[in-house]
């Protein structure tokens, strides 16, 4: 495809990017009209998104996929990519020459050649960790870009690879315990991967991802505000997943875990400063209280539901004076208030039913 000889960097990069999701190709296929897309991006279409031609077949393009892999390997560095692509092209043409010749060349190198190879291997090993950090970071960017472009299959796969890299880095770096930073990154990556799996309808995989996210976050040596928030979010996502499958007991367990984590954090904060008066922390706590209230209502536990609802309402009132008009907090406050009112009405109706019967 002439990547090795392309001069304009933008052309090289854009040749590796799908016009539908605006991210690096993932499982690319070629249309009859010679346009390329990720398989997932073009799957639902009957016409080419670039030229409108009818689609009769989608031909897999492993060579393009290889180039994308090469681009990922060099973390999107265009110069390194061109050099690698040119090297590969040269190696390819050599390989298509006679095999006997290349074997002979290897044998002629003798013992000195072997020593040289060992030397360069050692050098590449010492710079591996830095490369791995960069690659994990680049993989994360690719995943986020695919996610933003709506290609959840690509995003899920890239988050998965990012996670593998982060795990091996964290394991290599930590002798006894993991750093807060590694735990938060892994918690985020697994959580995002879970969201993608959920969007793809792969609920078992999503459940596993949310559980992994919680697992990694719990490894953190400190319960910082960031860890607390991420833990609560992942528990709520797991709860929502169970809820959607009508696994109400499991949903309650996850929502309750999230609530306990937030309540505990607020208690610590209250001792430090004015803690839960901090608006966003309070609103997050209200969210958790309402989720638990809702699931208790679904499970028929009106008393527990009412208690949580009352706590949520008190908090909503107590923070209302500290909310800036027009802020995101104001919108969230209003949304929570509406939810609380609806849930209150349902609970009252249920209690009236009980009185009647
Ligand atoms: Zn695409
Ligand atoms: Zn086309």
Query: What average pLDDT does range 87-91 have in this prediction?
Result: 80
264's torsion region: left (phi>0), alpha (psi -120 to 50) or beta?
Answer: alpha
**Which has more confidence, 73 or 253?**
253
Domain count, the chain: 1
Ligand nearest to the CA of 19: 1
**In the predicted structure, residue 106 carries a pLDDT above the cut 50:** no
Q: Domain range for residue 50?
A: 9-98
In a domain, 51, yes or no: yes
- Strands (DSSP E) contained in the chain are 28-30, 36-38, 59-60
How far is 311 from 293, CA to CA, in rounded Å? Answer: 10
Tell me which residue has tokens 């793809």. Answer: 200
pLDDT band (50, 70, 90) for residue 52: very high
**333 Cα to the center of ligand 2, angstroms:** 48
Ligand nearest to the CA of 64: 1
Q: Are 145 and 23 in contact (CB under 8 A)?
A: yes
At 124 the pLDDT is 46
Helix H or strand E encompassing 195: helix 180-199
What is the DSSP track for 92-115?
HHHHHS-HHHHHHHHHHHHHHHHH
At 88 the pLDDT is 80
**In the predicted structure, residue 112 carries a pLDDT above the cut 50:** no
At 10 the pLDDT is 60
Ligand nearest to the CA of 18: 1
Q: Specify the DSSP class assigned to residue 24.
A: B
Cβ burial 54-78 (10 Å sphere, 16+ → b, else e): ebeebeebeebbebbebbbebbbee
In a domain, 16, yes or no: yes
**92 Cα to the center of ligand 2, angstroms:** 30
Q: Identify the weakest region by mean pLDDT among 46-55, 56-65, 175-184.
A: 175-184
At 164 the pLDDT is 94
How far is 261 from 326, CA to CA, in rounded Å? Answer: 29
The structure tokens listed for 291 are: 């989720």
In a domain, 48, yes or no: yes
Ligand nearest to the CA of 47: 2
In a domain, 91, yes or no: yes
Q: Specify the DSSP class assigned to residue 176.
A: S
**78 Cα to the center of ligand 1, angstroms:** 21
Ligand nearest to the CA of 50: 2
In a domain, 163, yes or no: no
Q: What are the pLDDT digits (tens) for 307-323?
A: 999 999 999 999 998 88
Q: Are 288 and 308 in contact (CB under 8 A)?
A: no
Q: What are the pLDDT digits (tens) for 20-50?
A: 999 999 999 999 999 999 999 999 999 999 9
**207 Cα to the center of ligand 1, angstroms:** 25
Extract long-range pairs of 44-50: CB within 8 Å, 24+ residues apart. 49/19, 49/20, 50/19
The structure tokens listed for 171 are: 């394991």
Ligand nearest to the CA of 54: 2
**14 Cα to the center of ligand 2, angstroms:** 16
Q: Are 1 and 15 in contact (CB under 8 A)?
A: yes
How far is 112 from 26, CA to CA, in rounded Å? Answer: 42
The CATH code of the domain that includes 86 is 3.30.40.10
How far is 330 from 271, CA to CA, in rounded Å? Answer: 26
How far is 165 from 134, CA to CA, in rounded Å? Answer: 10
In a domain, 43, yes or no: yes
At 194 the pLDDT is 98
Ligand nearest to the CA of 28: 1
Q: What is the pTM of this model?
A: 0.81
Tell me which residue has tokens 């505990």. Answer: 264
In a domain, 157, yes or no: no
In a domain, 33, yes or no: yes
């Amino acid at each position: 495809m002439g990547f090795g000889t392309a001069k304009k960097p933008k052309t090289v990069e854009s040749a590796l990017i799908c016009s539908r999701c605006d991210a690096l190709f993932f499982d690319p296929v070629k249309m009859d009209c010679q346009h390329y897309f990720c398989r997932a991006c073009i799957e639902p279409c009957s016409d080419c998104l670039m030229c409108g031609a009818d689609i009769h077949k989608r031909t897999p393009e492993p060579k393009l996929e290889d180039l994308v892999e090469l681009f990922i390997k060099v973390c999107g560095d265009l110069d390194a990519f061109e050099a690698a692509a040119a090297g590969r092209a040269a190696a390819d043409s050599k390989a298509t020459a006679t095999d006997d010749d290349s074997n002979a060349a290897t044998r002629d190198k003798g013992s000195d050649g072997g020593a040289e190879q060992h030397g360069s291997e050692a050098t590449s090993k010492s710079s591996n960790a830095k490369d791995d950090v960069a690659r994990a970071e680049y993989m994360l960017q690719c995943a986020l870009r695919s996610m933003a472009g709506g290609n959840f299959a690509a995003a899920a796969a890239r988050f998965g690879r990012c996670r593998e890299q982060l795990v091996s880095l964290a394991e290599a770096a930590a002798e006894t315990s993991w750093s807060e930073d590694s735990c938060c990154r892994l918690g985020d990556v697994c959580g995002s991967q879970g969201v993608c799996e959920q969007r793809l309808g792969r609920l078992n995989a999503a459940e596993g991802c949310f559980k992994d996210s919680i697992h990694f976050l719990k490894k953190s040596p400190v319960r910082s505000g960031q860890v607390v928030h991420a833990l609560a979010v992942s528990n709520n996502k797991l709860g929502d997943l169970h809820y959607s499958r009508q696994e109400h007991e499991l949903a309650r367990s996850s929502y309750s875990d999230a609530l306990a984590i937030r309540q505990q954090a607020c208690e610590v904060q209250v001792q430090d400063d004015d803690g839960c008066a901090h608006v966003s922390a309070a609103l997050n706590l209200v969210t958790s209280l309402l989720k638990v209230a809702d699931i208790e209502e679904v499970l028929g536990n009106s008393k527990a539901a009412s208690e949580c609802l009352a706590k949520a309402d008190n908090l909503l009132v107590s923070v209302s004076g500290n909310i800036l008009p027009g802020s995101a907090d104001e919108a969230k406050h209003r949304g929570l208030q509406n939810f609380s009112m609806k849930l209150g009405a349902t609970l009252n109706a249920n209690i009236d039913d009980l009185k009647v019967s």
